[in-house]
A = this chain, B = another copy of it.
Amino acid sequence: MQDLTPFSHDIVIHNGIVITVNPDFDIIENGFIGILDGKIQQVGTIDGNKPPPAKTMIDANGGIILPGLVNTHTHLPMSLFRGLADDLPLTEWLNEYIFPAEQKHINPDSVKLGSLLGCAEMILSGTTTCCDGYFYEDAVAQAVLESGMRAVLGQGVIDFPAPGVPKPADNVNNAIRFVEKWKGISSRISVSIFCHSPYTCSKETLVKSKAASNHSNLLFQIHVAETQNELKQIQSEHHTTPVQFLEKMGILDQKTLLVHAIWVNDRDISAIKKQGSTISVNTQSHMKLASGIAPVQQFLAAGIPVGLGTDGCASNNDSDLFGEMDSTAKLHKVNTLDPTAMNAPSVLKLATLNGARAIGLGENIGSIEIGKQADIIIVDTHKPHLVPMHHPVSHIVYAASGGDVRDVMVDGKILVKDYQLLTLNLADVMEEVAFLSQSIKTA
């Protein structure tokens, strides 16, 4: 087929400012992007000429064209529990609201439904890739596949009875079964293993799941050093920090994503750097749950790949990475009383290329460069809060929100066109969730 087409691109995006996030962080004022077979084939400046022709021409209308955002930590089905309980002490929130709701309402159907809602929310707000961990991850994978987004997906492992895994002894094998089923099914889905944490999994479980993960060369995700209580518990039981506890078991390596990493010391940071692990920082979740402030600047100074994540919708309460960028930049400035801390370009990198690196996809996505997959979004700047435009990167981090995303594509396939989600019946999904939520509310 390709030989017969008169065009050298399938799609050309033009008439916009391209923020490439390439190694030079080039910003092309009047740029274009040529896409062929789902990959970026050409990136350039129009320079008074017409853009090259293509079967599909997308006019960005003077907007900002940037790599699709990468959300390095989600629990997609928890969209069902958005705003179910807020402003509570962590244990009360978990034990009286979240765990009972999960026990009662989480099943393959609700996981699929909540994941469809979560994917819709993320895609519409410019996130093209997420890294997820939950239970019944099989149903999450089905939702991701239908939605058109890209994802790294890990079946949850925890040493308690969990949704779909009533016997903890089956937890690692269950995760392996998920891996075997979904490996290679779609180029958009990477499989993973998600171990809940060092305080909810035994040493044996941790070592066994990491071995299974490494056996298949997968990303291994784990919550670690999220709260001061966790730090105290691990110190009391194992006489070391959560991060060094993992290091001693050989769990820190280049395929391990450490989620949260708030309560870490200098030696922990050195260990993470030395072993080549990566980090997902979830600023708004850390703020809302009052977990603490992760030392992001120290991670970056050490050269550790760091991405941003929204965490589940029960603890944020949305999946908008634009808000996450804004909060990350501002929180670290006020926390250090240094307005130069975490500048806009560095934060945009966290939400794109560095996030992609943190979840093992840095070679394929996260920037607009020739040869990478065409995961691209267009931000509509014809809004009063985005006028004037002195610096496009500043707008993305400090003024835009997910609602300003006009178009979204993954692998060169258009998922959102002119604010409309093309892949899912959003009205049906929302209606089904609203119906289900009646029983959650009255539970």
Contacts and interface: CB of A to CB of B under 8 A. Distances in A.
A53 B120 CA distance: 38
A249 interface: no
Interface of A: 79-90, 93, 117, 120-121, 124-125, 228, 284, 286-293, 316-320, 323, 326-327, 329-331, 333-334, 336-344, 382, 384-385, 387-391, 394-395, 398-399, 401-404, 426, 429-430, 433-434, 436-437, 440-441
* Centre residue among A318, A339, A341 by max chain B CB count within 10 A: A339
A387 B83 CA distance: 9
Nearest to A336: B290
A159 to B, nearest CB: 25
A438 to B, nearest CB: 9
B86 A343 contact: yes
Given A326-B323, A339-B290, A390-B82, A117 B228 contact: no
A76 to B, nearest CB: 12
A385 B339 contact: no
A320 B417 CA distance: 25
A117 B387 contact: yes
Given A93-B339, A121-B384, 13 more contacts: A82-B388, A82-B390, A83-B391, A87-B340, A117-B387, A288-B330, A291-B337, A317-B398, A317-B399, A320-B385, A323-B323, A384-B429, A388-B441
Classify the secondary structure of A's interface with B.
helix
A90 B333 CA distance: 12
Enumerate the 5 nearest inter-chain pairs by beta-carbon distance, A residue then B residue, closest first: A388-B437, A403-B403, A287-B330, A83-B394, A87-B343
A388 B338 contact: no
Contacts of A440: 388, 390
Nearest to A87: B343
A388 B82 CA distance: 7
A90 to B, nearest CB: 6
6 contacts: A80-B388, A86-B343, A291-B337, A387-B433, A388-B434, A390-B440
B398 A337 contact: no
Contact of A289 (B284, B336, B339, B382): B339
Contacts of A326: 284, 323
* Centre residue among A341, A434, A440 by max chain B CB count within 10 A: A434
Contacts of A341: 290
A89 B228 CA distance: 32
A101 B252 CA distance: 51
A230 to B, nearest CB: 13
Nearest to A430: B387
A329 B228 contact: no
Contacts of A404: 403
B387 A402 contact: no
A257 to B, nearest CB: 22
Contacts of A395: 83, 317
